[in-house]
Structure 1
Amino acid sequence: MQIDIQTVKALIIKARAMAGSEGVVNPDPGSNGVDDGFRTALQDGDGDDMYSVVSENLRGLSRGEQLDLLALLYIGRDDYAAEEWDTARKAAEDAAHSDIPEQLVSQPLLAEHIANGLVAVTGETVIGS
């Protein structure tokens, strides 16, 4: 694997935060959290767009590191076994779009699949896994 395990763990944590947030539904509710039942608590606001944060973090990685994440995702969702790392990595190369970060952030359960893949391949866990 070309990607550092700590980098993978940091991305998993950010991707979990991304999965727990949503776009702004009501940009100006005109009330406080108690009055509106804290409905806006998980909405991204200005400068708080986790999708962009995760996407930019992924764009900062080399293509090889991005492909490693795609292979971890494949293993984490049981497309391949951990022992099939080379096959999963080759499949990632074959399936990779020109925009791998977008391909990754569009995956449902991104964080959990990569976390599961990381455990399977390295035995490393992330807090909350």
Structure 2
Amino acid sequence: MSDYSDDDEVDLGVSLETVATVVDHVRALQGKEETEPEQASEDENSEAALLQETPDDMTEAALRAFLGELNEDEQASLIALAWTGRGDYGPEEWDEARALAVERNDGRDIGDYLLSMDNLGDLLAEGVAAFGLSIEDVER
């Protein structure tokens, strides 16, 4: 777990439901890969077909729109959680991480920034875990 004490309640500035939604969608996007249409159509149950994006899947554009609809505090919190999950900041430095995230996010596209991070879903989950919380407990 983490060295963060349960007595030190922290306001993440974003709901665990929102974090879980982003994590689920990022992981779904990372699981998809481009395949040749003829390869996927050979057998609809093949690995290539199952990994091909379908219209029902969460698209990157939809995820970007979801991120863009979050308020500035929620966006900054997602950035700070990713940094915490990456090990750039610890839970005890949360206020500093959020303040820097607000500053760096000002006027920028959060989708561009967050989606450029490798393993974003894992980083966000680890960031939440650093506070002794789990997105796995969130109902979906």
Instruction: Using structure 2 for the length normalisation, give the TM-score.
Output: 0.77
Map 1:38-53 onto structure 2 (within 5 A): 38-53=47-62
In the alignment, the residues of structure 1 paired with residue 14 and residue 120 of structure 2 have an alpha-carbon distance, to the nearest angstrom, of: 17
Query: Could you tell me which residue of structure 2 aligns to residue 54 of structure 1?
Result: 63
Runs of 4+ in 1 over 3 A off after TM superposition: none
Q: How many aligned residue pairs are there?
A: 124
The alignment's C-alpha RMSD in Å is 2.1
Query: Could you tell me which residue of structure 2 aligns to residue 3 of structure 1?
Result: 14
Query: 1:73 touches 1:113 (CA, 8 Å); kept in 2?
Result: yes
In the alignment, the residues of structure 1 paired with residue 117 and residue 43 of structure 2 have an alpha-carbon distance, to the nearest angstrom, of: 34
Greater helix proportion: 2
Structure with the bigger RCO (C-alpha within 8 Å, sep 6+) is 2
1:5–1:46 distance in 2 versus 1, CA, 3 Å: closer
1:19 aligned to which of 30, 47, 53: 30
How far apart are residue 2 of structure 1 and its match? 2.2
Task: Name which of structure 1's ranges 82-91 and 72-81 shifts more when overlaid on structure 2.
Answer: 82-91
Query: Could you tell me which residue of structure 2 aligns to residue 73 of structure 1?
Result: 82
Query: Could you tell me which residue of structure 1 aligns to residue 129 of structure 2?
Result: 119
In the alignment, the residues of structure 2 paired with residue 112 and residue 6 of structure 1 have an alpha-carbon distance, to the nearest angstrom, of: 15
In the alignment, the residues of structure 2 paired with residue 79 and residue 104 of structure 1 have an alpha-carbon distance, to the nearest angstrom, of: 15
- Identical positions, percent: 30
Query: Could you tell me which residue of structure 1 aligns to residue 118 of structure 2?
Result: 108
CA offsets per residue over residues 83-108 of structure 1, 9 Å max, x none? 10011112212332610122111211
Q: Which runs of 5+ in 1 are unaligned?
A: none
How far apart are residue 49 of structure 1 and its match? 4.8
In the alignment, the residues of structure 1 paired with residue 99 and residue 30 of structure 2 have an alpha-carbon distance, to the nearest angstrom, of: 27
